[in-house]
Amino acid sequence: MNMEAGRLKLEECKQELQIIADLFYQNKIEDGVNKLPDLIRMLNKIMEQECYEDKSKFLDILKNVTECIDSKNYIMLADIIVFELLAA
């Protein structure tokens, strides 16, 4: 895959991540929960494309994401998406 196509897919991921975060911020919990498989798919795609040079930081983010999902702390999950995944 060329770099331009990789960037395009990454931009699509970022847009989709923002939509998921917005659903949780808007208290549309059920809609956000229904998007969790998409979130996992995008995190896998980000990991495959090695968008994070610091792999240990990305693994920490993944750990925090799974903890938020397990504890159903969706506002914290939205914060992680916005301030850690999208800010990178």
Mean pLDDT of residues grouped by 10 in the chain (88 residues)?
Answer: 53 90 97 95 80 79 95 97 88
pTM score, whole prediction: 0.83
pLDDT value at residue 62: 92
Residue 70 and residue 25: Cα distance in Å, rounded?
Answer: 18
pLDDT value at residue 7: 56
Return the exposure string of 6-23: e unless at least 16 CB atoms fall within 10 Å of the residue's CB, then b. Answer: eeeeeeebbebbeebbeb
**Maximum alpha-carbon separation in the chain:** 39
pLDDT value at residue 2: 44
pLDDT value at residue 47: 79
pLDDT value at residue 52: 66
